[in-house]
């Protein structure tokens, strides 16, 4: 079967254009040459754009890795226990826009509104090359990646995170020494704006849901939060950390990635056989400056349980490898410089300017 004729499980290829406005945006008859309807969750269907782009000229949704990773097998090793194996990417909000270069490439205005962090140039036309030539709001200049999520509103007022937000890069598998950097151009969507509240609550990426004050594990926004200057609305959500080694993107923007599985007879996490490459597990830890009456708080994608986010890797290869090797493989708890204050003898991966020394 040729790559252009592949159909992912749950994907129904339709000849007619989808004209309905849904959580991922509105697809119009004059602007989207092809669309697939994807049954991502039971009872939910969402549009998946298959418009062509410079990185996917045939518009089939598959972007092959070049080169692919071959011969990889999931690691079953159990290295010496280290409680931490992570570093942070601290990135501020750069802009908002109704664009999504992963779901709706080359189709400006087709998505619900997104809040973008990291790369300052991210828009509907973004490619690996354009991001690599852009600027960044991240502390590490080598992190030119695009990070985005649906914009939060209180009534019709945008509520944007203030200052650097915490984006963790962690080991999602027990063998933290097997984690390797993302390939340049890897992109994926975490979560689904069409998910139900129950699906959101039981998503593999769910950590503690929406939090404010002493209220947590909420699938929807709390009705109210303590009206104090030190209280914000928070959420943490984790991404899959196993890659198939073949594609930088797939039509549903998810199937090339997978969450770890439990090694039989143990409590160890390992990558599944069809996604054998362990990569960093991204965890968004976002803080929104809103409290008090929360009854009018919503996401651009809908209610609180529609939360999801996107990642488009454009790290400088050498910088990302230095941080992954030093902090994740090295079993450290690092800041954005790759420095673990509890292990000063290990030094830092980056210098005081957050660049490679």
What pLDDT score was predicted for residue 13? 33
Helix (H, G, I), strand (E, B) or coil at 306: helix
Q: State whether the Cα torsion 3-41-32-127 is positive or negative.
A: negative
Per-residue pLDDT, averaged over 31-36, amounts to 39
Is residue 127 situated within a structural domain? yes
Structural contact between residues 190 and 276, judged by C-beta atoms closer than 8 angstroms: no
pLDDT one-digit tens code per residue, 163-222: 999 999 999 999 999 999 999 999 999 999 999 999 999 999 999 999 999 999 999 999
| Mean pLDDT of the chain, nearest integer | 89
**Among 69, 83, 135, 155, which residue's Cα sits nearest to residue 343?**
83
pLDDT at 261 over 50: yes
Per-residue pLDDT, averaged over 81-98, amounts to 97
Question: What total number of domains does the chain contain?
Answer: 1
What pLDDT score was predicted for residue 48? 52
What pLDDT score was predicted for residue 52? 79
What pLDDT score was predicted for residue 8? 37
Is residue 351 situated within a structural domain? no
Q: Tokens for 110, please give them.
A: 């087709």
- Residue with the bigger pLDDT between 231 and 15: it is 231
The band of 21, judged by pLDDT with boundaries at 50, 70 and 90, is very low
- Residue with the bigger pLDDT between 16 and 216: it is 216
Q: CB neighbours of 106 closer than 8 A, spacing ≥ 6?
A: 51, 52, 53, 124, 125
Q: State whether the Cα torsion 8-9-15-19 is positive or negative.
A: negative
Distance between CA atoms of 156 and 145, rounded to whole angstroms? 29
Is residue 188 situated within a structural domain? yes
pLDDT at 22 over 70: no
Is residue 31 situated within a structural domain? no
Is residue 12 situated within a structural domain? no
Neighbours of 316 (CB within 10 A): 18
Distance between CA atoms of 170 and 37, rounded to whole angstroms? 33
Q: Tokens for 137, please give them.
A: 């709001």
pLDDT one-digit tens code per residue, 292-310: 999 999 999 999 999 999 9
Is residue 45 situated within a structural domain? no
Alpha-carbon distance values, 146 to 94, 132, 288, 319 (Å) = 10, 10, 19, 16
Per-residue pLDDT, averaged over 83-109, amounts to 98
Is residue 25 situated within a structural domain? no
Which domain covers residue 89, as residue numbers? 63-346
DSSP letter string, 65-97: -SSPP-S-------PSP-S--EEEEEE-EEEEE
Per-residue pLDDT, averaged over 226-233, amounts to 95
Structural contact between residues 209 and 216, judged by C-beta atoms closer than 8 angstroms: yes
Containing 236, the helix (H) or strand (E) segment is: strand 233-238
């Amino acid at each position: 079967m040729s790559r252009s004729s592949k159909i992912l499980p749950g994907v129904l290829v339709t000849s007619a254009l989808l004209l309905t406005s849904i959580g991922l945006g509105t697809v119009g008859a004059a602007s989207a040459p092809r669309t697939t309807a994807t049954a991502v969750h039971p009872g939910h269907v969402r549009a998946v754009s298959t418009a062509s782009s410079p990185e996917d000229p045939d518009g089939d949704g598959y972007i092959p890795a070049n080169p692919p990773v071959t011969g990889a097998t999931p690691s079953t090793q159990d290295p010496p226990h280290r409680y931490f194996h992570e570093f942070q990417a601290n990135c501020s909000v750069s802009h908002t826009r109704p664009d999504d270069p992963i779901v709706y490439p080359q189709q400006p205005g087709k998505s619900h509104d997104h809040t973008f962090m990291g790369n300052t140039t991210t828009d509907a036309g973004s490619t690996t090359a354009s991001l690599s030539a852009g600027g960044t709001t991240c502390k590490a200049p080598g992190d030119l990646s695009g990070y985005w999520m649906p914009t939060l509103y209180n009534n019709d007022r945008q509520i944007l995170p203030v200052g650097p937000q915490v984006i963790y890069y962690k080991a999602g598998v027990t063998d933290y020494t097997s984690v390797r950097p993302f390939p340049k151009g890897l992109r994926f969507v975490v979560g689904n704006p069409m998910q139900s509240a129950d699906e959101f609550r039981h998503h593999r990426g769910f950590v503690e849901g929406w939090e404010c004050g002493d209220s947590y594990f909420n699938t929807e926004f709390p009705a109210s939060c303590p009206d104090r200057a030190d209280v914000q609305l928070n959420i943490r959500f984790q991404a899959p950390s196993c890659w198939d080694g073949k594609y930088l993107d797939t039509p549903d923007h998810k199937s090339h990635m997978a969450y770890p599985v439990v090694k039989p007879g143990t409590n160890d996490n390992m990558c599944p056989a069809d996604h054998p490459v362990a990569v960093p597990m991204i965890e968004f830890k976002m803080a929104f400056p809103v409290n008090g009456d929360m009854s009018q708080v919503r996401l651009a994608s809908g209610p609180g349980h529609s939360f999801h986010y996107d990642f488009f890797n454009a790290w400088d290869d050498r910088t990302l490898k230095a941080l992954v090797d030093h902090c994740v493989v090295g079993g450290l708890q690092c800041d954005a410089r790759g420095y673990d204050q509890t292990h000063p003898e290990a030094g830092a991966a980056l210098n005081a300017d957050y660049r490679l020394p």
